[in-house]
Chain A
Protein backbone atom coordinates (compact mmCIF):
# COMPACT_ATOMS: atom_id res chain seq x y z
CA UNK A 1 0.00 0.00 0.00
CA UNK A 2 1.10 3.55 -0.60
CA UNK A 3 2.89 5.10 2.37
CA UNK A 4 3.01 8.76 1.55
CA UNK A 5 0.25 11.01 0.43
CA UNK A 6 1.01 14.47 -0.78
CA UNK A 7 -1.03 17.57 -0.74
CA UNK A 8 -1.77 19.40 -2.91
CA UNK A 9 -1.52 17.20 -5.99
CA UNK A 10 -0.90 20.27 -8.12
CA UNK A 11 0.20 23.79 -7.27
CA UNK A 12 0.56 26.82 -9.54
CA UNK A 13 2.21 30.01 -8.31
CA UNK A 14 3.97 33.11 -9.62
CA UNK A 15 7.71 33.50 -9.61
CA UNK A 16 8.90 34.96 -6.34
CA UNK A 17 6.11 33.41 -4.26
CA UNK A 18 6.64 30.64 -1.74
CA UNK A 19 5.46 27.09 -2.39
CA UNK A 20 4.46 24.70 0.38
CA UNK A 21 3.90 21.00 -0.15
CA UNK A 22 2.77 18.54 2.48
CA UNK A 23 3.34 14.84 2.92
CA UNK A 24 1.64 12.42 5.29
CA UNK A 25 2.72 8.88 6.01
CA UNK A 26 1.37 5.92 7.93
CA UNK A 27 4.09 3.91 9.67
CA UNK A 28 7.10 4.79 11.81
CA UNK A 29 10.11 6.05 9.92
CA UNK A 30 13.87 6.32 10.22
CA UNK A 31 14.04 9.32 7.93
CA UNK A 32 12.05 11.18 5.32
CA UNK A 33 13.48 12.44 2.06
CA UNK A 34 12.31 14.87 -0.58
CA UNK A 35 13.08 14.44 -4.27
CA UNK A 36 12.46 16.56 -7.35
CA UNK A 37 11.62 15.20 -10.78
CA UNK A 38 11.77 17.43 -13.84
CA UNK A 39 9.58 16.37 -16.74
CA UNK A 40 11.00 13.35 -18.51
CA UNK A 41 13.95 13.03 -16.12
CA UNK A 42 15.02 10.96 -13.15
CA UNK A 43 14.55 11.94 -9.53
CA UNK A 44 17.06 14.19 -7.79
CA UNK A 45 17.55 14.10 -4.04
CA UNK A 46 16.87 17.43 -2.32
CA UNK A 47 17.01 16.93 1.42
CA UNK A 48 16.85 14.25 4.11
CA UNK A 49 15.41 14.78 7.58
CA UNK A 50 15.87 12.17 10.31
CA UNK A 51 13.11 11.10 12.66
CA UNK A 52 14.75 12.91 15.59
CA UNK A 53 14.94 16.21 13.68
CA UNK A 54 12.14 18.73 13.44
CA UNK A 55 13.40 21.16 10.85
CA UNK A 56 16.11 21.34 8.23
CA UNK A 57 17.23 23.98 5.75
CA UNK A 58 19.10 23.80 2.48
CA UNK A 59 19.35 26.98 0.45
CA UNK A 60 15.80 28.06 -0.41
CA UNK A 61 14.37 24.79 0.92
CA UNK A 62 12.95 24.31 4.38
CA UNK A 63 11.66 20.94 5.53
CA UNK A 64 9.75 20.23 8.71
CA UNK A 65 8.88 16.89 10.25
CA UNK A 66 6.21 16.17 12.84
CA UNK A 67 6.44 12.49 13.80
CA UNK A 68 3.46 12.76 16.17
CA UNK A 69 1.28 13.74 13.21
CA UNK A 70 3.24 11.61 10.75
CA UNK A 71 3.61 14.54 8.41
CA UNK A 72 6.25 16.64 6.72
CA UNK A 73 6.24 19.83 4.71
CA UNK A 74 8.57 21.22 2.07
CA UNK A 75 8.74 24.97 1.67
CA UNK A 76 10.44 26.52 -1.35
CA UNK A 77 10.99 30.23 -0.83
CA UNK A 78 11.28 32.86 -3.55
CA UNK A 79 10.35 30.35 -6.24
CA UNK A 80 11.80 30.50 -9.74
CA UNK A 81 10.51 29.21 -13.06
CA UNK A 82 13.27 26.58 -12.88
CA UNK A 83 11.61 25.12 -9.77
CA UNK A 84 8.79 23.84 -11.99
CA UNK A 85 8.83 20.08 -11.41
CA UNK A 86 7.17 17.28 -9.46
CA UNK A 87 8.18 16.91 -5.83
CA UNK A 88 8.03 13.60 -3.98
CA UNK A 89 8.42 12.68 -0.36
CA UNK A 90 9.85 9.26 0.43
CA UNK A 91 9.99 7.51 3.76
CA UNK A 92 12.67 5.15 4.96
CA UNK A 93 11.51 2.72 7.61
CA UNK A 94 13.42 0.61 10.07
CA UNK A 95 14.61 -2.01 7.59
CA UNK A 96 18.25 -2.17 6.61
CA UNK A 97 17.40 -2.65 2.95
CA UNK A 98 17.38 1.01 1.95
CA UNK A 99 13.76 0.65 0.88
CA UNK A 100 12.04 3.98 0.20
CA UNK A 101 8.29 4.35 -0.08
CA UNK A 102 7.26 7.28 -2.24
CA UNK A 103 4.24 9.52 -2.14
CA UNK A 104 2.35 10.35 -5.31
CA UNK A 105 3.97 13.74 -5.60
CA UNK A 106 3.01 17.37 -5.99
CA UNK A 107 3.30 18.94 -9.41
CA UNK A 108 4.53 22.50 -9.03
CA UNK A 109 4.26 25.07 -11.79
CA UNK A 110 6.03 28.38 -11.30
CA UNK A 111 4.93 31.00 -13.80
CA UNK A 112 7.47 33.61 -14.85
Chain B
Protein backbone atom coordinates (compact mmCIF):
# COMPACT_ATOMS: atom_id res chain seq x y z
CA UNK B 1 0.00 0.00 0.00
CA UNK B 2 1.30 3.42 -0.93
CA UNK B 3 1.53 5.68 2.12
CA UNK B 4 1.81 9.07 0.38
CA UNK B 5 0.89 9.18 -3.28
CA UNK B 6 1.06 11.99 -5.80
CA UNK B 7 -0.32 12.38 -9.28
CA UNK B 8 0.90 12.93 -11.86
CA UNK B 9 4.50 11.75 -11.59
CA UNK B 10 5.53 13.84 -14.60
CA UNK B 11 3.93 17.02 -15.87
CA UNK B 12 5.11 18.85 -18.98
CA UNK B 13 3.27 22.02 -19.90
CA UNK B 14 3.57 25.37 -21.60
CA UNK B 15 4.16 28.69 -19.94
CA UNK B 16 0.99 30.43 -18.91
CA UNK B 17 -1.02 27.26 -18.36
CA UNK B 18 -2.74 26.30 -15.11
CA UNK B 19 -2.06 22.87 -13.60
CA UNK B 20 -2.80 20.88 -10.47
CA UNK B 21 -0.91 18.22 -8.55
CA UNK B 22 -2.79 15.90 -6.25
CA UNK B 23 -1.60 14.29 -3.04
CA UNK B 24 -3.19 11.69 -0.83
CA UNK B 25 -1.98 9.97 2.33
CA UNK B 26 -3.46 6.85 3.88
CA UNK B 27 -1.47 7.02 7.11
CA UNK B 28 -4.12 8.78 9.14
CA UNK B 29 -1.82 11.77 9.65
CA UNK B 30 -3.15 15.18 10.61
CA UNK B 31 -0.52 17.30 8.86
CA UNK B 32 0.45 17.53 5.20
CA UNK B 33 3.12 19.56 3.43
CA UNK B 34 4.24 20.70 -0.01
CA UNK B 35 7.93 21.08 -0.78
CA UNK B 36 9.75 22.29 -3.88
CA UNK B 37 13.11 20.74 -4.85
CA UNK B 38 15.14 22.69 -7.37
CA UNK B 39 17.71 21.46 -9.87
CA UNK B 40 20.43 21.66 -7.22
CA UNK B 41 18.38 19.38 -4.95
CA UNK B 42 17.62 22.19 -2.52
CA UNK B 43 14.36 21.32 -0.76
CA UNK B 44 12.17 24.12 0.56
CA UNK B 45 8.85 24.05 2.39
CA UNK B 46 6.01 25.83 0.62
CA UNK B 47 2.83 25.08 2.55
CA UNK B 48 1.52 22.99 5.38
CA UNK B 49 -1.99 22.10 6.50
CA UNK B 50 -2.99 20.65 9.85
CA UNK B 51 -6.47 19.16 9.91
CA UNK B 52 -7.41 21.19 6.82
CA UNK B 53 -6.12 24.41 8.36
CA UNK B 54 -3.24 26.29 6.70
CA UNK B 55 -0.38 26.59 9.20
CA UNK B 56 2.66 27.28 7.02
CA UNK B 57 2.61 29.62 4.07
CA UNK B 58 6.14 30.48 3.04
CA UNK B 59 7.08 33.24 0.64
CA UNK B 60 5.48 31.63 -2.36
CA UNK B 61 3.92 33.52 -5.29
CA UNK B 62 0.15 33.68 -4.97
CA UNK B 63 -0.06 31.80 -8.28
CA UNK B 64 0.38 28.76 -6.03
CA UNK B 65 -2.73 27.80 -4.11
CA UNK B 66 -3.01 24.73 -1.91
CA UNK B 67 -6.36 23.13 -1.22
CA UNK B 68 -7.15 20.55 1.43
CA UNK B 69 -10.63 19.04 0.99
CA UNK B 70 -10.01 16.70 3.93
CA UNK B 71 -7.05 15.81 6.08
CA UNK B 72 -6.02 12.94 3.80
CA UNK B 73 -5.67 15.16 0.74
CA UNK B 74 -3.63 18.23 -0.08
CA UNK B 75 -3.66 19.44 -3.66
CA UNK B 76 -1.51 22.13 -5.23
CA UNK B 77 -2.87 24.34 -7.97
CA UNK B 78 -0.53 26.56 -9.96
CA UNK B 79 -1.79 29.37 -12.17
CA UNK B 80 0.03 31.05 -15.05
CA UNK B 81 3.00 28.72 -14.97
CA UNK B 82 6.44 30.22 -15.46
CA UNK B 83 9.75 28.69 -16.52
CA UNK B 84 11.09 29.09 -12.98
CA UNK B 85 8.35 26.82 -11.66
CA UNK B 86 10.12 23.84 -13.21
CA UNK B 87 11.16 21.63 -10.30
CA UNK B 88 10.21 18.49 -8.45
CA UNK B 89 7.32 18.98 -6.03
CA UNK B 90 7.02 16.69 -3.03
CA UNK B 91 4.07 16.12 -0.81
CA UNK B 92 4.68 14.86 2.73
CA UNK B 93 2.70 14.08 5.86
CA UNK B 94 3.30 13.67 9.57
CA UNK B 95 1.26 12.66 12.58
CA UNK B 96 0.78 16.06 14.09
CA UNK B 97 2.60 19.31 13.38
CA UNK B 98 2.77 20.04 17.10
CA UNK B 99 4.89 16.95 17.66
CA UNK B 100 8.44 16.79 16.43
CA UNK B 101 8.21 13.64 14.43
CA UNK B 102 9.28 12.31 11.09
CA UNK B 103 7.71 13.22 7.79
CA UNK B 104 6.70 10.73 5.13
CA UNK B 105 7.29 11.83 1.57
CA UNK B 106 5.54 11.03 -1.65
CA UNK B 107 7.46 10.03 -4.80
CA UNK B 108 7.45 13.54 -6.23
CA UNK B 109 6.00 15.24 -9.30
CA UNK B 110 8.51 16.49 -11.84
CA UNK B 111 7.09 19.65 -13.41
CA UNK B 112 8.66 20.94 -16.61
CA UNK B 113 7.47 24.27 -17.97
CA UNK B 114 8.39 24.92 -21.60
Contacts and interface: CB of A to CB of B under 8 A. Distances in A.
A86 interface: yes
Nearest to A86: B41
A96 B94 CA distance: 12
Among B43, B55, B99, chain A packs the most CB atoms within 10 A around the CB of B43
Contacts of A105: 41
Interface band, chain B: 20 to 34
A45 B100 contact: no
A43 B105 CA distance: 6
A102 B37 CA distance: 10
A109 to B, nearest CB: 14
Q: Is the interface of A mostly helix, strand, loop or mixed?
A: strand
A65 to B, nearest CB: 14
A100 B40 contact: no
Chain A interface size, under 10 / 10 to 19 / 20 to 34 / 35 or more: 20 to 34
A97 B97 contact: yes
Residue of A40, A96, A100 with most chain B CB atoms under a 10 A cut-off:
A100
B94 A98 contact: yes
A80 interface: no
A84 to B, nearest CB: 15
B66 interface: no
8 contacts: A2-B42, A40-B108, A44-B105, A48-B100, A92-B100, A96-B97, A99-B48, A101-B45
Interface of B: 4, 31, 33, 40-45, 48, 50, 55-56, 90, 92, 94, 96-108
